[in-house]
Amino acid sequence: MSAILEVRDLHTQFNTLDGVVRAVDGVSFDVARGETLGIVGESGCGKSVTALSILRLIPPETGRIAQGSIRFEGNELTALSEEAMKSLRGHRISMIFQEPMTSLNPVLTVGTQIAENVVRHMGVPWSAARERAREMLDLVRIADAKRRLDEYPHQLSGGMRQRVMIAMALSCDPQVLIADEPTTALDVTIQAQILDLMIELKEKTGTAIVLITHDLGVVAETTERVVVMYAGRKVEEAPVEALFENPLHPYTRGLMRAIPRLDVEADAAGTRPRLQEIPGLVPILTRPIVGCAFAARCELATDRCRATPPPFVDAGGGHIVACWEVKL
Amino acid sequence: MSAAPNIPVLEVDGLVKHFPILGGLLQRRVGAVRAVDGVSFSIAKSETLGLVGESGCGKSTIGKTVLKLIEPTAGRILLGGEDVTKLKPGAMWPHRQRIQTIFQDPYSSMNPRLPAGTIVGEPLENYGITRGAETDERVARLFERVGLRPDAMRKYAHEFSGGQRQRLGIAKALSVNPDLIVADEPVSALDVSVQAQVLNLLIDLQEEYGLAYLFISHDLAVMRHISHRIAVMYLGRIVELATKRTLFTQPLHPYTEALLSAATAPDPKRRRKRKRIVQGDVPSPAKPPPGCHFHTRCPYAMAECKVTAPPLIEVAPGHHVACLRRPVGGDPGPLSVPG
C-alpha cells in the first residue's frame, strides 16, 4: 500500500493569553490509498487540529504549523501557496464536519452549493455541474434528488444535511476525505445509516477516509487502522483488530476499560460492575511536557517516564506504541 | 424526607404535554407539538429508571414536567404519593426539596459570580436546613463526598473542568437530601475517562443514600450501565419498558431492536454481525404518523399498524411493550416481515 498522505513530526501551536498551546506536538502518520484511518482521542488531544493542519485551515491570527511536513501526492502542503491550497480543498482533499448546518450556506439551495464546488474545480458548465449534483444526491441515497436540489439546508433533517455534506465532499472525486466527528451530532439510528453510507461509498470510489472521533465504537466498526492521540501526541497506532484485542498503551487500555459496554454479556440483574476510572486530568498544554504526557495519570510510570519521552516500540504487524513500560 | 417504603418515590400517570404551534398574523394556535403523549411510569426508592430515545422523543420534556418547570397538559404527577400536578409555584416549593436535578451542562446553571461553595450551599440556606458556619461545614463535607477538594469552595465555576463542574452540580443537588434526582444527559458532554468517574459516583451515592434516579440519555451503553429498568421512547410515547436485563437480551419492540442494532460497540468483529439498520428519519412530533408512530420505519408493520395506536401492555411480568404484533402470551421470537 502506497501512502497518499504523509504527516511527519507535525507541530501546531496557538497563541493564547495563557501562553503557547502545543495542540499538536510531534505527530506522524501515513494514510494509504483507499484506506480508512481512525484518529481517536478525548477533547483537547489535538485530533481536530491535526485535520485542520492538513488542510491548512489553522487561523493565521492565532495559530501556526510550527514544524513538520505534510506531503500529499508528493507535494509539500506546508509550503504551498494559499491559491494552490484553495484548488486542493474540496477537490483532491475534502472535509466534513460535525455540524453540517454551520458549514452549509443557509441562503443557497443544496443543488447550487454542490454545483458551485464542481464548477470551481472541474471547470464544467453549470448545467453539467447541476447534473453532477443530482447524481451525487442519488449516490448518498437522498430520495427524490431532483426536488431536493432546490431545497435549502433548513428544510432538511440533520441526517440529510450530513448526506448533503458527504455528497458535496465527494463531488470532485477526492483522494482523501477527512471526516471530523461526522456522526456525533446525529441520533443512533441515523449515525448507523451515515457510517454505513461512508463505508459503502469508500468502497465504491476508492477515496481514503481519515475519520476523527472520540467514539471507540465508531472507530471499531468503521476503520481499518487507528492512531490514538493524547495531549497532542500519538501514543499508539495499530490495525483496528490488534488495537481492540490487545491495546498496549496504558492510556488506550484505560480508555477501553472506562467505557460502559453494550456488547458484554448481561450481568445478573442489579449488579453494576464499576467502570475503571482514569485518575486525574489531561495535562495543561501551555506548559511544556517533559517525558511521557500520560505519566502523571499512569500507574506504571517510573522516573524515566517522567523525564524522557518514550520512543515508539514496534510490536509487529504495524502495531506501534510509545511507552517505556510496555511488555511485549 | 423519605416516603414510606412501599410508595413509589415518583409516579407519573397518563402524562401529556403539548406545546402549541402559533401561526398567522394574530399568532393563533395552528397546531401542537405532541412532545409527551400519555406516559405512565413509577420509580421506587434506590431505583434508577432510564428514559432512552432519540432527539424529539420527549424524554427531556418528561424530565422538565416532572420537575414542574413546565406545566403538564394532562395527567398526574405524584411525589411520594402526594399529587403535585396542580400545585402553584409557591405550594410546590416545599416539595422541590425532594426532587432535584442534574443537567448536561452544569455551567449554564451556575452563577459565574458566586464562589462554588456558595452555589452548593444556597439550597441549604434556602430551605433553612443550615445557617452560616454550619452550612460551610456541610458544604465542605459534600465537596469531599463528590471528590472535590474543600479548598475548591472558593473557586468560581469557570475554574473547574467539565467533570469537576458536574461533581459540583451533583453536590448541589445532594445538598438538600432529595429522594429523587432527575439527571438529563449528565455525562453526554464528558470525555470517556471522566464519564466513568461521574457514573461511578452516581452509583455510589445511590447505594449510600437510597436515591432514586430518573436518568435521561440517548446513550444505550451508559443506560445499560446505570439503570435498573429502562423505558424506550419514540415520538412522545413509551414503546417498551422492562428491566435492563430483559430489554437487552430480549427486546420485543421493533424500535428497541433497531436502536440496539444501530448502537456501535468497541469491537471490530461486531461490524459484520450488525443485522438491520432502520431506514428513514424520525418523523416530526408536530405531525406524528397515525396509528403506531413507528410504522413508517418499521419493517414488520401490518396494515393495522397504520390505523391503530398500540397500547402499552404487560406481555410478561414487568415487561411492557406497545406493539400490535406482540400480544400477551405471544411468541417472543423474531418477527416476520409481512409479505
**Contact between B193 and A254 using a beta-carbon 8 Å cutoff:** yes
Average pLDDT over residues A12-40: 95
**Global pTM?**
0.89
- Chain A contact set for B263 (CB, 8 A): 188, 192, 217, 262
Judge whether A275 is closer than 8 Å to chain B, CB to CB: yes
Q: Within an 8 Å CB–CB cutoff, is residue A216 touching chain B?
A: yes
Question: What residue in A sits closest to B242 (Cα-Cα)?
Answer: A269
Q: pLDDT tens digits, residue range A33-74?
A: 999 999 999 988 999 999 999 999 999 999 999 999 999 998
CA–CA distance, B219 with B283 (Å, rounded to integer): 20
Residue B3: predicted pLDDT: 46
A173 shares contact with chain B (CB less than 8 Å): no
Q: Which of A295, A326, A327, A321 is nearest to A308 (CA)?
A: A295
Could you read off the pLDDT of A224-277 as tens digits, one per residue? 999 999 999 999 999 999 999 999 999 999 999 998 877 665 455 556 678 888
Non-local CB neighbours of A38 within 8 Å, separated by 6+ positions = A211, A212, A213, A218, A219, A222, A223, A225, A226, A227, A240
Residue pair A185/A214 in contact by the 8 Å Cβ criterion: no
Q: What average pLDDT is seen over chain A? A: 92
| Cα R_g (chain A), whole angstroms | 21
Q: Which residues from chain B sit within 8 angstroms of residue A256, using beta carbons?
A: 266
C-alpha distance from residue A234 to each of A322, A324, B16, B41 (Å): 8, 14, 51, 48
Residue showing cell 432527575:
B182
Residue B41 is inside which H or E element, if any? strand B28-43
Q: What is the pLDDT of residue A271?
A: 61
At residue B121, the 3 state secondary structure works out as: helix
Q: What sign does the dihedral A256-A257-A259-A265 (CA atoms) show?
A: positive
**pLDDT at position A265, please?**
53
Mutate to test the interface with B, among A272, A274, A299 (most CBs of B within 10 A): A272
Q: Side chain identity at A313, as an amino acid letter?
A: V
Asked if A225 and A240 touch (Cβ cutoff 8 Å), the reply is yes
**What residues of A are in contact with residue B272 (Cβ under 8 Å)?**
none
- The shortest CB-CB distance from A42 to any of B191, B222, B258 is to B191
User: CB distance from A292 to chain B under 8 Å?
Assistant: no
Determine which of A277, A284, A294 to mutate to test the interface with B (most B C-beta atoms within 10 Å).
A277
Phi, psi of A106 (to 5 degrees): -70, -20
Residues A124-142: tens digit of each pLDDT: 999 999 999 999 999 998 9
Q: Is the pLDDT of residue B7 over 60?
A: yes
Beta bridge mates, A93: A89, A176
- By the CB < 8 Å criterion, does A188 face chain B? yes
How many Cβ contacts (< 8 angstroms) between chains A and B? 133
Residue A277: predicted pLDDT: 87
Closest approach of A257 to chain B, Cα-based (Å): 9
Backbone angles phi, psi at A157, to 5 degrees: -75, 165
Asked whether the beta carbons of residue A189 and residue B191 sit closer than 8 angstroms, the reply is: no
